[in-house]
Amino acid sequence: MPNQLRSQVILSIETNAGGVAKSTTAYNLAYELGVRGYSVALLDIDPNESLTLFCGLRESSHPGTMADVYDPSFAGNYPLMTAWASKIDKIQVCKGGKELHETIRLVSKDLRGPYVLADRLSDYPLPHNFVIIDCPATLEPLPLTALAACTHVLIPIQPEYKASQSAAAMIEWYYHNCKQLRLKPAPKIMGIVPTRWKSNWGAHQSIVEELPIVCQQLGIRFFNPIRESADILNASGRGLPLGIFRPGREARADFQPIVDALIQELAEMGDR
Ligand SMILES: Nc1ncnc2c1ncn2[C@@H]1O[C@H](COP(=O)(O)OP(=O)(O)O)[C@@H](O)[C@H]1O
Ligand SMILES: [Mg+2]
Amino acid making up residue 87: K
Q: For position 3, what pLDDT does the model report? A: 45
Closest CA to 132 of 26, 253, 21, 252: 26
d(CA 159, CA 196): 7
Shortest-distance ligand to the CA of residue 136: 2
- Ligand 1 mutation pick, 24, 45, 51, 240, max ligand atoms within 8 A of CB: 24
Q: Which residues line ligand 1 (CB under 6 A)?
A: 18-24, 50, 137, 195-196, 226-229, 232-233, 236
Residue 94 three-state SS: strand
Give residue 13 CA to ligand 2 midpoint distance, Å: 9
Task: For the chain, list the domains and their CATH numbers.
Answer: 9-271 (3.40.50.300)
pTM strictly above 0.85: yes
- Partners of residue 40 on adjacent β-strands: 91, 130
CA nearest ligand 1 atom 11, residue: 233
Q: What is the mean pLDDT of each run of 10 residues along the chain (272 residues)?
A: 69 90 97 98 94 89 91 96 96 95 93 95 98 90 96 92 82 94 96 91 80 88 95 97 96 98 95 72
Strands 188-194 and 130-134: unpaired
For the chain, the distance separating the N- and C-terminal CA atoms, rounded to the nearest angstrom, is 16
How far is the centre of ligand 1, averaged over its atoms, from the C-alpha of 194 (Å)?
12
Distance 26 CA to ligand 2 centre (A): 9
For the beta carbon of residue 40, count every other beta carbon within 10 angstroms. 27
CB count, 10 Å around CB of 186? 18
